[in-house]
Amino acid sequence: MGEKIEYGEFEKEMELSKEDLKEFLQKMLEKIDQGRITCKFEEREIYVDFVEPVKVKVEYEGSSEEEELKIKLKFKGKVLPEVPPFQ
């Protein structure tokens, strides 16, 4: 299992198939109702208990040759070194 992140910065860029993207987002969605974001990668595990509001930024750039849509979510909260179980 990957190293748990407590503080600092971590960035991960991935290229996913439609099915892999769906699975990745679904795992995040399952935790949002609980007020937690969980991201697990081979090299890192990140758990954040977040507070509202969540900032969402959408950027679109398009031309006749290429289109690009960026969606950025900002969750503010506390990064947890250990994940306490939900009751």
Q: What six digits make up the tokens of 7?
A: 């503080």
Which pLDDT does position 4 carry in this prediction?
52
Tens-place pLDDT, residues 7-64:
667 778 889 999 999 998 888 888 888 888 877 788 777 777 888 888 999 999 988 8
Q: Are 6 and 79 in contact (CB under 8 A)?
A: yes
